[in-house]
Amino acid sequence: MSGLDRLAALGVVVADADLASLTTYRFGGPARYLAEPPDRVQLQQVIEARAHEPVLVLGRGSNLVIADSGFDGLVIRLTGEFERIDIEDGVAVAGGAAWLPSVARQSVEAGRSGLEFFVGIPGSVGGAVRQNAGGHGSETRDWLESADLVDGGVSSAGPGELDLSYRHSNIRSDQVVIGARFRTEPGDVAVGRELIASIVRWRKEHQPPAVYNAGSVFRNPPEDSAGRIIDSLGLKGLSVGGARVSDKHANFFVASPDASAGDVYRLVQLIRDIVRERAGVELHPEIQFVGDFT
């Protein structure tokens, strides 16, 4: 019996667990094992039991396409104490599972500014650090003081050490961001609330809501925007199975409730091929494909 099977027998880990409901696309197959540790003791227990099992650290699943066959490994999804957010002496201290829009709102209500952009990104602090998430003129690295990572031991690293750049970090798939500290600046609560409201309004007008998609599909090529290129080729509305290029934003691919991960995968390949052929631009996915798509 493997260490993870032992933890499954104890109820600490769930075997053959549903993942679809844990992602914004709402599709994809099961995980061989799912652990949802609420604290560091249990996280450590899971990591020690892991042996050589492949690992996926799952945040809010807002940047992922999980294969229809699922993930044949251990999924770690932080819960409990990792969802905490505290604003202490002008620093936002948040657990790896903290919800970014709440970090934005809590920081504003504490009279601090800088993190308002997080309100438009429906992910977790861990996902934002791993992806250097950004929008509305800010990126995670602009405000990150340090992140705490666990991969056996615990270490702390700043944005330079994590090599944060456009939707990139050097965080490995088996490293878990358990928390982060963000600097903030003094702010006016009313001004911060208005900024938050304007970001939310802008998102509603320009993007589909945060279900049945995973945000921007492709990274923007240098000095251009993937959405602009796809739109300029008249590809809004193009579909494969239940996946479709959004009419609101050409770099968002929306899924119908009966769509499969395979539909999104094939639509991504199709759009990439058309853009390469007609515009001479090579697009690279920003969304991450997890599992087997062959």
Ligand X SMILES: Cc1cc2nc3c(=O)[nH]c(=O)nc-3n(C[C@H](O)[C@H](O)[C@H](O)COP(=O)(O)OP(=O)(O)OC[C@H]3O[C@@H](n4cnc5c(N)ncnc54)[C@H](O)[C@@H]3O)c2cc1C
Phi, psi of 93, rounded to the nearest 5 degrees: -110, 115
Q: How far is the CB of 83 from ligand X (least distance, A)?
A: 11
Catalytic residue among 50, 167, 203, 244: 167
Q: How far is the CB of 89 from ligand X (least distance, A)?
A: 24
- Please tell me whether residue 62 binds ligand X under the rule CB under 6 A: yes
Q: How far is the CB of 277 from ligand X (least distance, A)?
A: 27
Instruction: Give 146 or 175: the residue with its C-beta nearer to ligand X.
Output: 175
Q: In what order do the strands lie in the sheet with 85-88?
A: 85-88, 91-95, 176-183, 144-150, 154-157
Q: Which residues contact 141 (CB under 8 A, 6 or more apart)?
A: 132, 159, 162, 164, 165
Residue selected from 30, 70, 73, 126 as contacting ligand X according to rule CB under 6 A: 126
Instruction: Give 68 or 274: the residue with its C-beta nearer to ligand X.
Output: 68
- Please tell me whether residue 259 binds ligand X under the rule CB under 6 A: no
Look up residue 35 and give its two tokens. 């652990």
Q: How far is the CB of 10 from ligand X (least distance, A)?
A: 23
For residue 252, the SS3 value is strand
Half-sphere exposure of 251 (CA within 13 A, CB side): 19
- Cα–Cα distance measured from residue 189 to residue 185, given in angstroms and rounded to the nearest whole number: 12
DSSP state of 83: G
Residue selected from 37, 215, 227, 262 as contacting ligand X according to rule CB under 6 A: 215
- Please tell me whether residue 64 binds ligand X under the rule CB under 6 A: yes
Instruction: Give 5 or 161: the residue with its C-beta nearer to ligand X.
Output: 161
Catalytic residue among 107, 124, 169, 216: 216
- Crossing angle of helices 100-109 and 189-206, rounded to 10°: 150
83 is catalytic: no
Residues facing 117 on adjacent strands = none
Interface stretch with ligand X, choices 12-20, 46-54, 127-135, 184-192 (CB under 6 A): 127-135
H-state helical runs in the chain: 3-9, 40-49, 100-109, 125-131, 140-143, 189-206, 226-232, 261-279
Q: How far is the CB of 138 from ligand X (least distance, A)?
A: 10
- Please tell me whether residue 96 binds ligand X under the rule CB under 6 A: yes
Interface stretch with ligand X, choices 7-15, 101-109, 157-165, 206-214 (CB under 6 A): 206-214
- Please tell me whether residue 207 binds ligand X under the rule CB under 6 A: yes
Contact call for residues 106 and 85 (beta carbons, < 8 A):
yes
- Please tell me whether residue 184 binds ligand X under the rule CB under 6 A: no
**Stretch 155-174: interaction string toward ligand X, x if CB under 6 A:** ----------------x---
- Please tell me whether residue 123 binds ligand X under the rule CB under 6 A: yes
Q: How far is the CB of 81 from ligand X (least distance, A)?
A: 13
Residues facing 181 on adjacent strands = 93, 146
Residues facing 255 on adjacent strands = 243
286 is catalytic: yes
Residues facing 91 on adjacent strands = 88, 183
Question: Which active-site residues does the annotation give?
Answer: 167, 216, 286
- Residues contributing to the site for ligand X (CB under 6 A): 24, 56-64, 78, 96, 120-124, 126-128, 130-131, 133-135, 171, 175-177, 207, 210, 213-215, 288
